[in-house]
């Protein structure tokens, strides 16, 4: 592998890695508010991409289609929370897992019925003329993905640190009982977290669609990768989620480049799960700490 090839793999790794990062952020927001792992998180990513395609095909300008998709999926996240999560906030872990798994199956199948089995593209935000970096090339869409991810991460940090609502969300993640006693509306925090989580993941889906298309079945895999990224960075730690996502994307890309066997890309998906299992076995608190995984 030459240096330029290496650079090329890094670029493609960062692009997909940003999407994993946004999905991981989605997991983190919900986990911090409710201690629930949302197994339907990847479906929000998929819904984001497909909704943007539909809006665009219906004649909306690209920017409106993309922002509209993010908003619609954000509302969908809130509706999902109201219908399925709220009744089970105090139920056991098993019930919560089962409900989000059921939602994931239902959403995926509904998407197949609505959008069909074909994967579909979306035009790149600003053309597709590659930019030369040495001998490697970088797509304008990659820069968009990186920039928007950065904006989302910074905005999220400001929200958490500077606003009263953000502080209330953090208070709930530390101790929801005590936060309630201080007058924080827990149900509002949960609702907000689901809306933001769905919207952020949908933004990831919207941005990756011009690069790798979107189909009804893509959500499950993206969700798993996002979770692996969240675990890698330490579950519950937003900065860790971003670093975990980018690292996972780059690791995957380099594996394809470095494996000396034919059809190495077929093993790409296994990399994420191998990392997931290794982290779970060896260092369940993630590489960057985060909240300790509860060992009973």
Partner 1 sequence: MAAVLSFLKRHSAFIGFAVVAMAAPLFTQNIYYLSVLAFMGTRFMIVLGLNLLMGQAGQISLGHAAFAGIGAYGSAILTTRWEVNPWAAMALSALLAATVAGVIGVPTLKLKGHYLAMGTLGFGEIVYILLVQFKWLTNGTDGISGIPSLSLAGIDFGKPQAFHWLVWGVALIMLRISLNLVDSRVGRSLKALHRSEAASMSLGVNTAYRKVQVLMVSAVFASIAGSFYVHYVHFVSPSSYTLTFSVILATTVVIGGLGRVWGAVWGSILMMVLPEFLRQYQDYTNLVFGVMLILIMIFLPGGIVSIGGAADALRRRIGGASGRSGGDAAPEGGS
Counted residue by residue, the chain has a size of 296
Location of structure tokens 């969240």: 230
Nearer to partner 1, 59 or 177 (CB): 177
Q: Which two tokens stand for residue 120?
A: 């579909």
Which residues lie closer than 8 Å to 283 by C-beta, 6 or more apart?
none
Query: Residues 214, 220, 226, 228: is their CA dihedral positive or negative?
Result: negative
Q: What angle do CA 162, 165, 171 make, to 5 degrees?
A: 90
Nearer to partner 1, 93 or 258 (CB): 93
Nearer to partner 1, 3 or 273 (CB): 273
Least distance from C-beta 247 to partner 1, angstroms?
17
Q: Which two tokens stand for residue 153?
A: 């991460």
Least distance from C-beta 212 to partner 1, angstroms?
18
> CA–CA separation, 96 vs 218, rounded Å?
23
Nearer to partner 1, 210 or 290 (CB): 290
Nearer to partner 1, 134 or 263 (CB): 263
Among the listed residues 121, 284, 75, the one whose alpha carbon sits nearest the alpha carbon of residue 213: 121
Least distance from C-beta 65 to partner 1, angstroms?
26
> CA–CA separation, 259 vs 237, rounded Å?
32
Nearer to partner 1, 71 or 88 (CB): 88
Binding site residues, partner 1, CB under 8 A: 37, 39, 83-84, 86-95, 97-99, 101-110, 112-113, 164-165, 168, 180, 183-189, 220, 224, 227-228, 231, 263, 266-267, 269-270, 272-274, 276-277, 280-281, 284, 293-296
Let me know: does 240 contact 84? Beta carbons within 8 Å.
Answer: no
Which residues lie closer than 8 Å to 105 by C-beta, 6 or more apart?
none
Least distance from C-beta 161 to partner 1, angstroms?
16
């Amino acid at each position: 592998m030459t240096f330029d090839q290496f650079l090329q793999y890094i670029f493609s790794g960062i692009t997909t890695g940003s999407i994993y990062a946004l999905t991981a952020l989605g997991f983190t927001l919900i986990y911090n508010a409710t201690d629930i792992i949302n197994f339907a998180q990847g479906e929000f990513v998929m819904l984001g991409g497909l909704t943007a395609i539909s809006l665009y095909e219906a004649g909306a300008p690209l920017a409106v289609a993309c922002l509209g998709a993010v908003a619609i999926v954000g509302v969908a996240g809130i509706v999902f929370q109201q219908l399925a999560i709220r009744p089970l906030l105090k139920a056991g872990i098993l019930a919560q897992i089962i409900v989000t798994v059921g939602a994931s199956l239902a959403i995926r199948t509904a998407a197949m019925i609505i959008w069909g089995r074909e994967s579909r593209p979306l035009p790149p935000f600003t053309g597709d003329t590659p930019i030369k970096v040495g001998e490697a090339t970088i797509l304008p869409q990659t820069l968009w993905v990186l920039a928007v991810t950065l904006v989302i991460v910074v905005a999220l940090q400001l929200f958490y640190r500077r606003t009263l609502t953000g502080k209330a969300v953090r208070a709930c993640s530390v101790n929801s009982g005590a936060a309630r006693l201080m007058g924080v509306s827990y149900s509002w925090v949960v609702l907000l977290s689901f809306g933001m989580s769905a919207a952020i993941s949908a933004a990831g889906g919207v941005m990756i669609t011009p690069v790798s298309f979107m189909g009804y079945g893509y959500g499950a895999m993206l969700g798993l990768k996002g979770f692996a990224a969240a675990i890698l960075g330490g579950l519950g730690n937003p900065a860790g989620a971003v670093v975990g996502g980018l690292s996972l994307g780059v690791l995957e890309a380099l594996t394809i480049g470095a494996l000396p066997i034919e059809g190495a890309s077929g093993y790409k998906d296994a990399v994420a799960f191998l990392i997931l299992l290794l982290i779970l076995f060896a260092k369940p608190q993630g590489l960057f700490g985060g909240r300790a995984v509860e060992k009973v």
